[in-house]
Structure 1
Amino acid sequence: MSRKPRIWYPGSIYHVTCRGNRREAIFYREEDYEYFLNLVDDTKRKWPFQLHAYCLMTNHVHLLVQTDHHPQYMMKMLESQYAVYFNKKYRYEGHLFQGRYKSEIITDRNYFLTVSRYIHLNPVKAKMVARPYEYPWSSYASYIYPTDCLRVTTDRLLSCLPHPPRAFYQYYVEESKKDVESYLKQTFD
């Protein structure tokens, strides 16, 4: 049975995920997370893309990316180079990642915001931290604290929010109230 081709067009935005084979860990130590993030930077130089959000969990990765290249090129580079690193370091044999990466195209602003919140709340839902800013392997801090993070592009998402956007985004993510959803719907739809 053949696979469905992935939808792609220049400038498309995707929620990309990849998971460890048999849901096993793909990050054991702090240096593994750092190595993966450095690979993200290297991949951005070869296959330029904007990284709007990310979260590296113990056994899977979430990326919210916008690219003018098909995401298969960046994901092939990321997954293959990380697998070589991991397999060599931990003397692991076989596939590190479970099947193909998954990608879901983002079609509108509300979905873009919803996916970013989902990504940033992943460690909270997994009960790894109480608040999303406590988790070090996510882009959330780039959104609530003004920084010069070269890895993450925050301006597109923040431009979707009312003033002050950083405070509103923090409220949107951490409070998850229905009134925020209805406010956004009334304001922007």
Structure 2
Amino acid sequence: MTSRARKWYPNSVYHVTARGNRKSNIFKEEEDFRTYLTILEDAIEYFNGQYEIMCYCLMDNHVHILLKTKIKHIKYFISRLNSIYAKFFNNKYNYLGHLYQKRYFSELIRSDLQMLETSRYIHLNPIKANMVKKPDEYKWSSYSMYIGKEKERLINSQKILAYFKKDNQRELYRKFVESRVEQICSHTGSESSNS
């Protein structure tokens, strides 16, 4: 039985997620995160400008990528990325079988508001998972690049930062994202106290 073809539109932005099989970790050591980012960078170069990473976050058992496409379907980019990384991971840890759970998930970004909210959601993932207290403390996301703490690599933040006043874009984006931190922390705190 073949998988149903996904709807895809050229020159669009998608929120792509891929999760470990049975929610297992797909990153176990720092080398794994670094290798994934190298493969991501290689895939951008391989497809010669057909895809652009707007932001990302690598969690222990899943990834989030906000991906802009041109005229090539996202399946080519994601299948290359996932298959090369799965070969690396399975070879390193002597595993057999699928690394990822089902196919990747992709959501079409249909509005400016959805674009902004999705970038914030991606960058706040480590807070929701109680891994860090502030999003810039997490090493494996593009957030530190957005706020100017690190030099940009792999990503193009211009489209998202363009929603903010030009002379203060990075600081305004930081305020936009971090305005939700307290709310998330109080929510996750009440969940843990109820368990």
- Give the TM-score normalised by the residue count of structure 2: 0.87
Superposition map of 1:61-72 within 5 A: 61-68=63-70, 69-72=72-75
2:116 aligned counterpart, secondary structure: helix
CA RMSD of aligned residues (A): 1.5
Q: Does the aligned pair in 2 maintain the 1:55–1:122 contact within 8 Å?
A: yes
What is the CA–CA distance in structure 1 between the aligned matches of 2:135 and 2:8, rounded to whole Å?
Answer: 31
SS at match of 1:103: strand
CA distance in 1, matches of 2:120, 2:43: 24
Q: Does 1:170 align with 2:174?
A: yes
After TM superposition, give the deviation of residue 93 of structure 1 in Å.
1.1
Structure-1 separation of matches of 2:133 and 2:112: 27
Matched, 1:118 2:121: yes
Residue aligning to 2:102: 99
Give the deviation of 1:2 after TM superposition: 6.3
Structure 1 residue 27, shift from structure 2 partner: 0.2
1:19 maps to what in 2?
19
Structure 1 match to 2:77: 74
Partner residue of 1:53? 55
Range with greater deviation from structure 2 (4-13 or 164-173): 4-13
Question: Does the residue aligned with 2:101 lie in a helix, a strand or coil?
Answer: coil
Q: What percentage of aligned pairs have identical amino acids?
A: 44
Structure 2 Cα separation of the partners of residues 56 and 39 of structure 1: 13
Structure 2 unaligned spans of 5+ = 182-195
Task: Give 3-state SS (helix, strand or coil) of 2:9's partner.
Answer: coil
CA distance in 2, matches of 1:20, 1:50: 23
Hey, which bits of structure 1, 4+ residues long, moved more than 2 A?
Answer: 1-5
Q: Which amino acid aligns with 2:105?
A: K
Structure 1: runs of 5 or more not aligned: 178-189
| Secondary structure, counterpart of 2:102 in structure 1 | coil
| Contact 1:51–1:66 (CA under 8 A) maintained in structure 2 | yes
Helix, strand or coil at the partner of 1:14: strand
Aligned to 2:40: 40
Any idea what SS the aligned residue of 2:76 has?
A: helix
In the alignment, residue 21 of structure 2 is paired with which amino acid?
N
Q: How many residues are treated as equivalent by the alignment?
A: 177
